[in-house]
Amino acid sequence: MTARSSPLRPSDEIRVNPIAGALGAEVEGVDLGRPLGAETVAKLRRALLDHLVLFFRDQELTPEALLAAARHFGTPVEYPFVKGIEGHPDVIEVAKLEHERVNFGGIWHSDTTYLEIPPMGTLLLAREVPPVGGDTLFANMYLACETLSEGLRAMLDGLTAVNSSARADVTRTREDRVRSAPKAGAERVLEAEHPVLRTHPETGRKALYVNVAHTQRFGGMSEAESAPLLGYLCRHLTRPEFTCRFRWRPGSLAFWDNRAAQHNPINDYHGYRRVMHRVTLAGDRPR
């Protein structure tokens, strides 16, 4: 099923409207602050699998309501390096303040692939946004995999990749949050080895599972040996035709499938404040 198709009929109360050819859909007719019925949850789960990232507008959610919405789709887990907000360890603040020049997570990545069991998904809710800028890009890793040559896919299918929390580019993007709200053990280095081509546990499709933020090298190879091919893959996976772009408003919420999508928050709003609340959902060991 392509990103343009949707299993929901136009007559259904929930409307799922694709925003790009590759991935991404805006959902209408759902208030995540209210209890969701089993049929609604099932439709949203199906839409997430079809479109990889869902966008909701005008969601006035307290931290408690954000967590309640997240629990319909999985089990919230704590972020390993930054404390959660007061009273809610599973909700972290993702912020760039007026004086800061570097934004949190401002590089293409899948969330925390340096964990042995990375999250299945992430919910991100906009609290404060700049007047312009601060959009987020998303990319479809199914397409990134499927558009590789048959020979390269066959070679990658037998490789693993070593992912580390110590990659210089990404540690720089979280340094201000770690200083202001450090978690015990925030200085430790986490490392995990995962397949380069990951099989999605629900769809059975292969997705490219390396990223410039966390992937250091291929398993059994040095960084120098890995760099040419790894560099090519990281450039390939961000081709414009694999992506969509989302413009935030206060109350906007994005929910993405971390197993088959990458994202990149654009750092183009110096001098303005951008504050988000994030919840990540427990996943499974990549296969």
User: Could you please report the per-residue DSSP string of 42-99?
Assistant: HHHHHHHHHHSEEEE------HHHHHHHHHTTS-EE--SSBPPBTTBTT-EEEEE-TT
pLDDT of residue 9: 40
Give the model's confidence band at 4: pLDDT under 50 very low, under 70 low, under 90 confident, else very high.
very low
- Whole-number Å distance between alpha carbons of 34 and 16: 19
Locate tokens 């479109």: which residue? 51
Q: What is the dihedral of CA 194, 198, 202, 203, to 10 degrees?
A: 180
Nearest residue to 234 via CA among 247, 219, 217: 217
Locate tokens 């259904």: which residue? 12
Whether 90 contacts 63, CB under 8 Å: no
Average pLDDT of 29-41? 96
pLDDT of residue 7: 45
Its pTM stands at 0.90
The two tokens of residue 121 are 């998904």
| All domains of the chain in start order, with CATH | 15-281 (3.60.130.10)
Q: How many percent of the chain have pLDDT more than 90?
A: 84
Average pLDDT of 11-25? 90
pLDDT of residue 105: 83
With a CB cutoff of 8 Å and minimum separation 6, the contacts of 162 are 191, 192, 193, 215, 216, 217, 218, 219
Average pLDDT of 130-151? 98
- Whole-number Å distance between alpha carbons of 276 and 254: 11
Q: Flag the least confident range among 101-105, 248-252, 283-287.
A: 101-105
Say if residue 66's pLDDT is above 90: yes
Say if residue 177's pLDDT is above 70: no
Work out the mean pLDDT of the chain and round it to a whole number: 91
Say if residue 276's pLDDT is above 70: yes
The two tokens of residue 275 are 């504050």
Per-residue pLDDT reduced to its tens digit, 238-255: 999 999 999 999 999 999
3-state DSSP: the chain helix, strand, coil percent, rounded to 5?
Answer: 25, 30, 50
Per-residue pLDDT reduced to its tens digit, 149-161: 999 999 999 999 9
Q: Flag the least confident range among 64-73, 177-186, 195-204, 217-226.
A: 177-186
Say if residue 170's pLDDT is above 80: no
Say if residue 231's pLDDT is above 70: yes
Average pLDDT of 91-96? 95
Active site positions, annotated: 109, 111, 263, 278
Say if residue 136's pLDDT is above 90: yes
- Cα-flanking dihedrals φ and ψ of residue 132, to 5°? -145, 155
Give the model's confidence band at 269: pLDDT under 50 very low, under 70 low, under 90 confident, else very high.
very high
pLDDT of residue 104: 82
Determine how β-strand 76-77 pairs with β-strand 160-164: unpaired
Q: List helix spans (H) across the chain.
A: 38-51, 63-71, 141-146, 150-156, 168-180, 223-236
